[in-house]
Amino acid sequence: MDTIEQLKDAALQAVAGAQIEITGAGAVEPGLVVDREHMFAVAKFFRDDERYAMDYCSCVTAVDFLAKQTKKKVKQPDPKDPTKTVDKEVVEDTPAYMEVVYHLYSIAKRQGPIKLRVRTEREVEKCRVPSLTPLWRGCEFQEREAYDLYGITFEGHPDLRRILMWDEFKDYPMRKDYQPPLDYEWEPTPHDHTLDRAKQIQGITPPSALTEEKK
């Protein structure tokens, strides 16, 4: 199969206006990050083009990325000597976002995977990506799972509804900032965390809190 660079170039030539970046360069299985507006068209290209014939989507998963700050060094002119440069540490802010990852294979050609990624805003109201279920029927339940657990809306999905949690369930339990309600029916276990939550529900000071007070 083509290299990740060749896959990117082929998709860019086939889908006008697409924005594609390589992620995980140097990894065993690098992927392509595709903009939301062209994700469906790029995926369809890899399915229909005879060189690739990606006729099977084996996995659909989601990843929750919280906002973070990254420190890095950049070269800047030396204020004491403009002919020289000095390293200066700067802080870059990366906003929070959700990412959906598709693993594509060709059963006919026995090749793959091609990993396609699409990113979206993390806010539930804006957390939307195109559904690829019309291209690969096997995406249906897996996209529903990502919707159920992460709150990602898959536009164009034929039957988008919860699949693991009950219909009345609120929020999305796989998000990194999810906090389970105190009145959840926890299974009795000897683990400190579970016992502490039970004490909180009963209005009793958890033993771990008492230990902290003594410290």
Q: Which CATH superfamily is domain 4-62+99-179 in?
A: NADH:ubiquinone oxidoreductase Nqo5 subunit (3.30.460.80)
Residues near 182 by Cβ (< 8 Å), separated by ≥ 6? 197, 200, 201
pLDDT tens digits, one per residue of 48-105 = 999 999 999 999 999 999 998 888 888 888 778 878 888 888 888 889 999 999 999 9
Mean pLDDT, the chain, integer: 88
The pLDDT value recorded for residue 184 is 59
Contact at 8 Å (CB) between 165 and 173?
Answer: yes
- The pLDDT confidence band at residue 207, using thresholds 50, 70 and 90, is low
Percent helix, strand and coil across the chain, each to the nearest 5: 25, 30, 45
DSSP 186: P
Least reliable range by pLDDT among 29-33, 163-167, 174-178, 199-203: 199-203
Cα 146 to Cα 39, 102, 143: the distances in Å are 17, 12, 5
Domain boundaries, the chain: 4-62+99-179, 180-215
98, with CB counted inside 10 A (0-12, 13-18, 19+), is buried
In 3-state terms, what secondary structure has residue 204?
coil
- The pLDDT confidence band at residue 208, using thresholds 50, 70 and 90, is low
The pLDDT value recorded for residue 185 is 59
The pLDDT value recorded for residue 16 is 97
Residue 111's φ and ψ, nearest 5 degrees, are: -145, 160
